[in-house]
Amino acid sequence: MTSRSYVAGAALSAIGFALLVVAHYLGLFVAPREAMMGDVGRILYVHVPTAWGALLFYLGAFVAAIGSLWSGRRGWDAATTAMVEVGTVMTFLLLVQGSLWARPTWGTYWTWDPRLTTSAVLAAAFGVVLLLRRLIDQPARRATATAVATIVAFVDVPIVYFSVKWWNSLHQPVSSRQTIDSPMMQPLLIAAVAVLLLGIGLSVLRWRVELARLLAEEAAPDLPDAPAPLDLSGASGAPRG
Amino acid sequence: MSEVEVPAPLPRPAQPGLGSVLVGVFGGVLAVIRKDLLVEWRARAQVVALLGFAVVVLLLFSFAVGPDSMALARHAGGYLWLALLLSSTLLLARSMQNEVESGALEGLLLVPVPAASIFYGKALANTVLLVLVALVALPVDLAITGAAIVSPGVAVAVVVLGAAGVAAPGTFYAALTARVAGRQLLLPLLLFPLIVPALLGAVKATTLAMTGDPMGQVPSWLTLLLAFDLIYWSLCGLLFEKVVEA
Amino acid sequence: MGQGMIQGGWGYVIAVYGISWGVMLGYAVMLLAQARESALARALPEASAASPASSHKGRAP
């Protein structure tokens, strides 16, 4: 027996993947070459939607974190976790994509482009939230820590972006708006919708997993206060070395 | 109905006016600052150790870069702030550890002042200590790298604003991780990505204070630092109550 | 950088699309498996949570 959220998450993800196939087919084989970038410019159709998606899901996590902090309900806590994780996966992809795009374009895998740098900082800042969560056992404290760290990290997003932009004011302008015409716009928009649906689907699934985890944790009995000291005497015979 | 009539309105402890609330808040902040600085003063050997740590880090940077005095002088601002940042995690973790051990935090929370004033007190005390570390580290940095301060006013402003920028989120995250296993690692992991903007601003402005500022860029970096400080001093003060309650 | 269009570079494009699809599909499959597992655990709550109180302590007499 599967639950409604499982079906919804799986279905949304499947639709997202299907739309992504269409968008990437159009982007890779139908759309014209980009004027400056040539075929390398086709990375646009996967890179830009990922960037939008990452930001959007961080925004979602921020909202859920406020909800979690305010209401103290575990549904919000699970939603925060789910969206932080989906956003972080996208941010790591963003970093890899950005590096691979920078190499043929700028001749290096890494530049201090504000976007690339910001995504590196974000991957670190939000990745640590997930780590922090793993390390706290007590549910209420964990929920608070997750929510608070998510809020603080999200507020940093624009500050990091603009500070890096000023700091590295000599960066090359990345090809953007003016070069995008309609045959390129279409696969981009489809891909954006696809990533959105995919991300929502994955978030729902992740939310479900987290919620089940939280409920199971709650249902589980407390561990005995004092562990039996006799276990250490070597009788258990765990192989060592 | 009930016979037990509540006697006619006693002179209730009147709603404190805004003025007395403010006095209470500021009194709490001041008391916490005083307490924290007193604790540090009583354990001054630890403060000295912290200063020594910052100096050693500076020395290590110069060894790592080598005797190229041009390169050393050019990056003097960066070394200073990295040394401060590395020292700050030790300082911040200890300041919160003092509270959590022996349940001092619970006692502190019982004091009838808002939790935010505990945060501001601790963050201000940490700012003062960080400025102190900077006052020791800066001359060492200048001596090692051969750089010189051209505009002292800018240097002072950067040190204060930068220290405040580290102290607010640092105190906040120290409180958040105070009871977590692996906090020694978690605190820098949480703090360092967050304060990238403050680090950029502080390093740039410090470097400009050393090399001179022909392009007039200092004000924008100081503005960035100030904005960062304002945002995180308000946000962390707002959220601190949730963190210590949990 | 010159004025001309960058030539070639399909290797990078393939790498980007390959990695992105690989990671997303892998993540989705992992989540589906985990969500399914938790869905199953929920469908049979009695089997897994019937005697939790005794199961912990009842090991060593």
Q: pLDDT band for C16, please (50, 70, 90 cuts).
A: very high
The confidence score (pLDDT) of residue B7 equals 56
**CA–CA separation, A101 vs A44, rounded Å?**
9
Question: Is residue B42 in some structural domain?
Answer: yes
Joined together, the tokens standing for residue A82 give: 């789910």
Q: What is the pLDDT of residues A107-142, one digit of tens each?
A: 888 888 888 888 999 999 999 999 999 999 889 999
Instruction: Quote the domain boundaries for residue B103.
Output: 19-245
To which H or E segment does residue B118 belong? helix B115-145
Question: Is residue B236 in some structural domain?
Answer: yes
Q: Is residue A159 within 8 Å of residue B197, measured between CB atoms?
A: yes
Beta bridge partners of B231: none
Show which subunits contact C, needing at least 3 CB pairs below 8 angstroms. Answer: A
B100 touches chain A (CB under 8 A): no
CA–CA min distance C26, chain A (Å): 11
Question: Is residue B44 in some structural domain?
Answer: yes
Question: Is residue B75 in some structural domain?
Answer: yes
Residue A208 burial (C-beta neighbours within 10 Å; 0-12, 13-18, 19+): buried
C31 touches chain A (CB under 8 A): yes
Per CB-CB distance under 8 Å, the chain C contacts of A104 are 6, 9, 12
**CA–CA separation, A58 vs A64, rounded Å?**
10
Question: Is residue B9 in some structural domain?
Answer: no
Q: Largest alpha-carbon pair distance within chain B?
A: 91
246 residues of chain B, pLDDT tens digit each? 445 655 565 555 556 667 766 777 788 888 888 888 898 888 888 889 999 999 999 999 888 887 777 888 888 999 999 999 999 999 998 888 888 887 888 888 887 888 888 899 999 999 999 999 999 999 999 998 888 888 889 999 999 999 999 999 999 999 999 888 888 889 999 999 999 999 999 999 999 999 887 787 888 899 999 999 999 999 999 999 888 876
Q: What is the pLDDT of residues C18-54, one digit of tens each?
A: 999 999 999 999 999 988 887 666 665 544 444 344 3
**CA–CA separation, B57 vs B76, rounded Å?**
13
Question: Is residue B2 in some structural domain?
Answer: no
Question: Is residue B130 in some structural domain?
Answer: yes
Question: Is residue B188 in some structural domain?
Answer: yes
CA–CA min distance A136, chain B (Å): 6
Q: For chain B, what is the domain count?
A: 1
* Dihedral, CA of residue A181, residue A184, residue A186 and residue A190, to nearest 10: -140
> Where do the structural domains in chain A lie, given as residue ranges?
4-31+38-171+189-212
